[in-house]
């Protein structure tokens, strides 16, 4: 079975490519490298010992995307390609609506034309906004608080409308909680372009000495230690969730939504301590003002994914920290480390 993976060079996409190839699927990948590097795909090939077709194209370029469907016998699509920076989405909302919404409409339009109606879609726990209760069920009310979140929420609605109009669509909407960690080889991981926005990449960059200290955004939340609580999930567990979701698409009529999380919440302090325990590194931090738009507590009820998909997250917080740290140490400059190493040898 051949699967099209959009955004396959990105953080989650590259790990998913490995899991799909290892599970025996053939893949075709598209990416425009707006937030990733070609090196990630070279490493996917090295790790799996398998080759695949790659197209450097923009999802929004309909004619080029259509060519991919003409040249390959695509049977299902796993759609990761999107912009994901919350702060940036507030500054340039149209760029986010164009890329994430129009991109999804163009993709599904072409899928419909070529009678490819199996889709696994990357959504986010951000669509729950500030949840009224935890753990969060898939049936909780949706309330996105920023343009990025709204692109995910709107894309979900578009997919639901599509499958209501034509029930031969089989769509799995996966709402990820907080993906962290890296491939066990240390060769794939999260490679932020700039100063990281997210907690774990910030911590690893402090640990390696690229950043001076972590700012802990608020210690007066209504949580046991006052810092924000999240459901961190290992990126490889998350990637496997896509393989399981794809395997189960045949059982879906229309659209199904699944939380992909561990069901456990960790505070910022608990993450810092777990990281220090595992790596023996020291993370200097200071308490800063809460970050605008942040919520106190967010963790999943992942039971639906377990029941329907037979999927559970297996890796714990210490493994997540150890793998993130291995990636950071082996790739101090992210995917450029390799290129720089070769050019300094030349």
Scanning 60-68, 107-115, 213-221, 240-248 for contacts with ligand WQD by CB under 6 A, the matching segment is 213-221
Q: Residue 84, interface with ligand WQD (CB under 6 A)?
A: yes
d(CA 163, CA 307): 23
Applying CB under 6 A, the site for ligand WQD has a residue count of 18
Residue choice 14, 89, 178, 259 for contact with ligand WQD (CB under 6 A): 178
Q: Which residue is nearest to ligand WQD (CB)?
A: 228
* Binder of residue 59, out of ligand NAD, ligand WQD, none (CB less than 5 to 8 A by kind): ligand NAD
Contacts for 71 with CB less than 8 Å, ≥ 6 apart: 53
Give yes or no for a contact between 238 and 176, defined as CB atoms under 8 angstroms apart.
yes
> Which has the closest alpha carbon to 66: 18, 25, 116?
116
Token digits for 151? 């692109």
Least separation in angstroms between residue 164's CB and ligand NAD is: 23
Contacts of 122 (CB under 8 A, 6+ apart): 7, 12, 79, 80, 82, 174, 176
Instruction: Report d(CA 195, CA 135) in Å as an integer.
Output: 31
- The 3-state secondary structure of 26-46 reads EEEEEECCCCCCHHHHHHHHH
Q: Considering the rule CB under 6 A, would residue 199 count as an interface residue with ligand WQD? A: yes
Residue with tokens 């909680």: 177
Residues 237-266 within binding reach of ligand WQD (CB under 6 A): none
Of the candidate residues 126, 170, 172, 205, the single one contacting ligand WQD (CB under 6 A): 126
97's contact among ligand NAD, ligand WQD, none, with CB below 5 to 8 A by partner kind, is none
What SS3 state is found at 321? helix
Q: Which is nearer to ligand NAD, 122 or 172 (CB)?
A: 122
**148 catalytically annotated:** yes
Compute how many other C-beta atoms are within 10 angstroms of the C-beta atom of residue 51: 11
- Non-local CB neighbours of 61 within 8 Å, separated by 6+ positions: none
CB–CB of 146/272 below 8 Å?
no
Set 25, 128, 148, 335: catalytic member: 148
- In whole angstroms, the minimum distance from the beta carbon of 284 to ligand NAD comes to 25
Which contacts (CB < 8 Å, 24+ apart) does range 138-144 have? 138/175, 138/257, 138/258, 138/259, 138/301, 138/304
CB of 294 to ligand WQD, least distance (A): 5
Give the nearer residue to ligand WQD in terms of CB position, either 68 or 180: 180
Catalog residues that contact ligand NAD under the rule CB under 6 A: 7, 9-13, 30-36, 58-60, 80-84, 99, 103, 122, 124, 176, 179
119 φ, ψ (degrees, to nearest 5): -140, 135
67 binds, among ligand NAD, ligand WQD, none (CB under 5 to 8 A by kind): none
Q: Which does 60 bind (CB under 5 to 8 A by kind): ligand NAD, ligand WQD, none?
A: ligand NAD
Choose among ligand WQD, ligand NAD, none what residue 228 binds, the Cβ cut-off being 5 to 8 Å by kind.
ligand WQD
Chain residues in the site for ligand WQD (CB under 6 A): 84, 86, 124, 126, 178, 197-199, 202, 214-217, 228, 230, 268, 291, 294
Catalytic residue ranges: 148
């Amino acid at each position: 079975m051949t699967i099209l993976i959009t955004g396959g060079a990105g953080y989650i996409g590259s790990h998913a490519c490995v899991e799909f190839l290892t599970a025996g699927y053939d893949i075709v990948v598209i990416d425009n490298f707006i937030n990733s590097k070609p090196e990630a795909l070279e490493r996917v090939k090295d790790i799996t010992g398998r080759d695949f077709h790659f197209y450097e194209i923009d999802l929004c370029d309909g004619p080029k995307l259509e060519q991919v469907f003409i040249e390959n016998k695509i049977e299902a699509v796993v759609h990761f390609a999107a912009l994901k920076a919350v702060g940036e989405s507030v500054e340039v909302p149209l760029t986010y609506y164009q890329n994430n919404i129009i991109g999804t409409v163009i993709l599904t339009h072409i899928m419909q034309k070529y009678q490819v109606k199996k889709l696994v879609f990357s959504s986010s726990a951000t669509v729950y906004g500030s949840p009224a209760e935890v753990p969060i069920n898939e049936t909780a009310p949706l309330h996105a608080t920023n343009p990025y979140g709204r692109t995910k929420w709107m894309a979900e609605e578009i997919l639901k409308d599509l499958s209501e109009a034509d029930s031969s669509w089989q769509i799995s909407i996966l709402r990820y909680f907080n993906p962290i960690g890296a491939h066990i080889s240390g060769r794939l991981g999260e490679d932020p372009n700039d100063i990281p926005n997210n907690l774990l990449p910030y911590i690893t960059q402090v640990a390696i000495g690229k950043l001076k200290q972590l700012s802990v955004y608020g210690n007066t939340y209504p949580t046991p230690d006052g810092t924000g609580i999240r459901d961190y999930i290992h990126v490889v567990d998350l990637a496997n969730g896509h393989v399981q979701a794809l395997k189960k698409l045949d059982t879906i009529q229309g659209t199904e939504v699944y939380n992909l999380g561990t069901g456990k919440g960790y505070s910022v302090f608990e993450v810092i301590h777990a990281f220090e325990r595992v790596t023996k590194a020291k993370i200097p931090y200071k308490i800063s003002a809460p970050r605008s738009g942040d919520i106190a507590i967010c963790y999943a009820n992942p039971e639906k994914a377990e029941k329907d998909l037979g999927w559970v997250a297996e890796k714990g917080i210490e493994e997540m920290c150890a793998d993130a740290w291995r990636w950071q140490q082996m790739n101090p400059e992210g995917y450029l480390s390799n290129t720089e190493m070769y050019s300094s040898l030349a």
